[in-house]
Amino acid sequence: MGLSSACPSHIPDRRGPQVPLNKEALPLDASPSSVAAARRWVVTVCEELGRDDLVECAELGVSELVTNAILHGEAPLSVRVRGTVHHPRIEVYDGSRRPPVLPSDPFREHVDHDDDDALLTTNGRGLALVAMSSTAWGASVELRGKVVWFEPARAVHDRYPPGIIDGVEDPDSDWTPLPDSMTVKLLDVDVPLFLSTITQYSNLRRELRLLALSHDHDYPLAGDLSQMFATFERQFPPSSLHSVSAALLKSGDRTDLSFQASPRSSQVFRTMYDMFELADSFCRNQRLLSLARTPEQVELQGWLLTEFLRQADGQEPTAWSARANDHAHAS
């Protein structure tokens, strides 16, 4: 597996420290002034990325998305930039999990701006103008809200690509555990750290999937990693990640967790751990504008793998706090 080094001639190959990797999201108030603030922020990011050619469409698209989030979404609101330097993606987050209704005819040559039925969606003025300003766009439903995103085009156009909605939970009806599945127990888990690790994983998983869908030729590694992540997730019920996250949100700082898995999944778990290392390298090489794991998240995932292998071998579970105490005594 490898990374493509292709760089379109009109895009400067800027991989030095001037690229705002891991740039924090901009929090927004539910007020009209947030539209102008988001627009200014996005213009600055485009300029820092060396993508002045995207400014016009970036301004138009983010204005629409922030307006829709203020009028029809729920707090909290924020805007961020993800994707890559060559294919930056602008994302507007709000706290509502209701997915937007996409325009019904994405390949029509002309959009009638006086046709309210064509432009109105559950997100207000509609996504048609966003679509006309993009090369790819869609929405992702997450645990505590949704992200509506677009990749700004170099010019507004009448024909626009179809939108993609992902993240809607699949039912568990078609999933059955393997006959030898066992219960893996995770004791005294650090809840804030576990939640942050799930969030990092979910963001990375979605990032890789979107790159694989939109830019498979440019980023073949994204497709390889995305397929491996999908194989890993098939070891569990489809909604398990949401269920665990929801349970953690109701817990205190520490809690016990359990999940079903087959000992036959051990190789998948080992491979997945290596894939995280590869994904971190993908982020740090300034190809991906999203967060790599923190050292604490790396340690937690290592503990999860160790616990799975130990318990599959018939050993008793070891609490996370016991591991933390061992580190304290060693230092």
Q: Which of 98-102, 125-129, 229-233, 295-299 has the highest mean pLDDT?
A: 295-299
Give Cα separations from 165 to 38, 150, 235, 256, 318 (angstroms).
23, 12, 24, 33, 40
For residues 127 and 41, state if they share a domain. yes
Two structure tokens written together for 133: 């300003």
Q: Give the residue from 22, 25, 99 showing the smallest Cα distance to 62.
A: 25
Q: Give the residue from 256, 211, 266 showing the smallest Cα distance to 235.
A: 266
Average pLDDT over every residue of 74-101: 91
Residue 25: per-residue pLDDT: 92
**Does residue 5 fall inside a structural domain?**
no
For residues 107 and 145, state if they share a domain. yes
For residues 162 and 268, state if they share a domain. no
Q: 274: Cβ–Cβ under 8 A, 6 or more apart, which residues?
A: none
Which of 112, 136, 166 is the endpoint of a domain?
166
For residues 309 and 216, state if they share a domain. yes
For residues 100 and 229, state if they share a domain. no
For residues 111 and 205, state if they share a domain. no
| Positions of E strands within 143-243 | 145-152, 164-166, 182-190
For residues 154 and 254, state if they share a domain. no
For residues 206 and 231, state if they share a domain. yes
Model confidence at 3: pLDDT above 50: no
Q: 281: Cβ–Cβ under 8 A, 6 or more apart, which residues?
A: none
14 or 201: which leads in pLDDT: 201
- Neighbour tally for 244: CB within 10 Å: 19
Q: Which of 98-102, 224-228, 274-278 has the lowest mean pLDDT?
A: 98-102
Residue 199: per-residue pLDDT: 85
How far is residue 299's CA from residue 292's CA, in Å, rounded to a whole number?
13
**Does residue 287 fall inside a structural domain?**
yes
For residues 221 and 144, state if they share a domain. no
**Does residue 315 fall inside a structural domain?**
yes
**Which residues are paired to 270 by β-bridges?**
none
165-222 pLDDT per residue, tens: 877 655 444 567 677 888 999 999 999 999 999 888 888 888 888 888 888 888 888 8
Give Cα separations from 151 to 168, 213, 289 (angstroms).
21, 13, 13
Rounded percentage of the chain residues whose pLDDT exceeds 90: 38
Q: Structurally, how many domains does the chain consist of?
A: 2
Average pLDDT, whole number, for the chain?
Answer: 80
Model confidence at 95: pLDDT above 60: yes
Model confidence at 114: pLDDT above 70: no
**Does residue 227 fall inside a structural domain?**
yes
Residue 70: CATH number of its domain: 3.30.565.10
Two structure tokens written together for 300: 């937690």
Which of 142, 166, 190 is the endpoint of a domain?
166
Phi, psi of 325, deg, nearest 5 = -65, -35
53 or 159: which leads in pLDDT: 53
**Does residue 200 fall inside a structural domain?**
yes
**Does residue 83 fall inside a structural domain?**
yes
Which of 115, 132, 166 is the endpoint of a domain?
166
Print the domain residue range for 58: 26-166
**Does residue 16 fall inside a structural domain?**
no
For residues 157 and 71, state if they share a domain. yes
Letter for the amino acid at 91? Answer: E
209-236 pLDDT per residue, tens: 888 888 888 888 888 988 998 888 888 7
Model confidence at 45: pLDDT above 50: yes
Which residue pairs from 36-45 have beta carbons closer than 8 angstroms and sit at least 24 positions apart in sequence?
38/62, 38/63, 38/66, 38/79, 38/92, 39/63, 39/66, 41/79, 42/79, 42/81, 42/90, 45/20, 45/81, 45/88
**Using an 8 Å Cβ cutoff, are 204 and 287 in contact?**
no
For residues 189 and 318, state if they share a domain. yes
Model confidence at 327: pLDDT above 70: no
For residues 160 and 206, state if they share a domain. no
Model confidence at 239: pLDDT above 80: no
**Does residue 314 fall inside a structural domain?**
yes
